[in-house]
Amino acid sequence: MADRPRVAIAHDYLTQRGGAERVVLALHRAFPEAPIHTTLYDPEGTYPEFRDAHVIVSPIDRLAPLRRKHRVALPLLPYAVSRLPVDADVVVASSSGWAHGVPTTGRKLVYCHAPARWLYQAEAYLGGPAHRSLQGQGLTLLSGWLRRWDRRAAASADRYLANSTVVGERITAAYGIDAEVVPPPYGIDADAPQAPVDRLADWADGYLLVVSRLLPYKNVGVAVEAVRGLRERLVVVGSGPLAEQLRATAPENVRVLSDLTDAELRWTYAHARTLLAPSLEDFGLTPLEAAAFGVPTLALHGGGYLDTIDERVNGTFFEEPTVEALRAAVVADRARRWDGDAIRAHAAHFSERRFHERIHEEVDRLIR
């Protein structure tokens, strides 16, 4: 089909396993022939499904240490993105601050997970005031130049989409762009095979669950401390700079697991009683992943969770990201009975099929 439009995908970096990377996989399934352009690619650090895609990398990918620690590459990323030309009729840029800057011969559709956190939410990104770390001091020195680059990159888009209402508001504040909201799919197939997790065999009758990158702004430590001394058990699934610290300080009723396969993650969700979501998220993907298994969520009242949690159906909110507030929510939830079928039906509104339909509509609109 010679008249088929050429579509390409761009993403900041493929070095980790998270919600943004799952969205790229959903885009890849929507456009299976589209190459994926990215600054850094670590096949061992991200989802194995990317090995089936045609991944095109920037020159800095030759520096192997950067693939394992992409945050160290931050000052180089504008250079890397500008040397990642995309030859396509439409490039769909999955962006958290970098991919929206890719140069292209065609039109550019940006699917924004958030304007750059290190520029517009630096204190939350760093876990404290910028002056307290070398990384923060470096960001402060570079912030003026990075903001100018970032705003030029945003202005280069033909169409901007936001993954949630709160991200749409941040896009308007940062760039003056009115972005339409297109929710991402929850990205986990509850009907696919499961693999038991040996380290949780004795807890298979139920536990609280956190699924998160282990970064300061994710507030995972708040969840760990909230269950200290309670009868509830907590499983934390994730990796990141705080992993060893959390393992070293966790009480006996908390287990921290990293590097689960998707089949193991499905088993972990299926055996959970309640998901805890204590961070201020741009979208709020994990409540939908949990909902696909009929599992409710206790979430911080704000951010993307406002789009994905219906208090009548799949979860409740607590008001502050504090140990006391989350502990009270856990205790209050003991008496509540949830309807698993209603929770699963809620998740179906955020299916991958619906996401594909919307993205294809947007691409067709740009082609026309």
Taking all residues of the chain, what is their mean pLDDT, rounded to a whole number? 92
Which value, in Å, is the radius of gyration of the alpha carbons in the chain?
A: 20
Q: What's the full length of the chain, in residues?
A: 368
For the segment 64-80, what is each residue's pLDDT rounded down to a tens digit?
A: 888 877 777 777 888 99
The second-level CATH assignment, the architecture, of 198-348 is 3-Layer(aba) Sandwich (3.40)
- Where along the chain do its domains lie? 7-185+351-367, 198-348
Please report the pLDDT score of residue 66 as a whole number.
86
Stated pTM of the model: 0.78
Please report the pLDDT score of residue 310 as a whole number.
95
Q: Using the predicted structure, report yes or no on whether residue 162 has a pLDDT greater than 60.
A: yes
Residue 341's alpha-carbon distances to 147, 162, 271, 296, in angstroms, are 46, 29, 16, 11
Q: Most distant CA pair in the chain: distance in Å?
A: 65
7-185+351-367 and 198-348, same CATH topology? yes
Q: Which residues pair with 296 in a beta bridge?
A: none
Q: How confident is the model at residue 41 (pLDDT cuts 50, 70, 90)?
A: very high
For the segment 93-109, what is each residue's pLDDT rounded down to a tens digit?
A: 999 989 999 999 999 99
Please report the pLDDT score of residue 123 as a whole number.
59
The second-level CATH assignment, the architecture, of 7-185+351-367 is 3-Layer(aba) Sandwich (3.40)
Q: Using the predicted structure, report yes or no on whether residue 130 has a pLDDT greater than 50.
A: no
Helical spans, DSSP H, in 156-297: 165-175, 220-227, 243-249, 262-270, 286-291
The three-class DSSP label of residue 204 is: coil
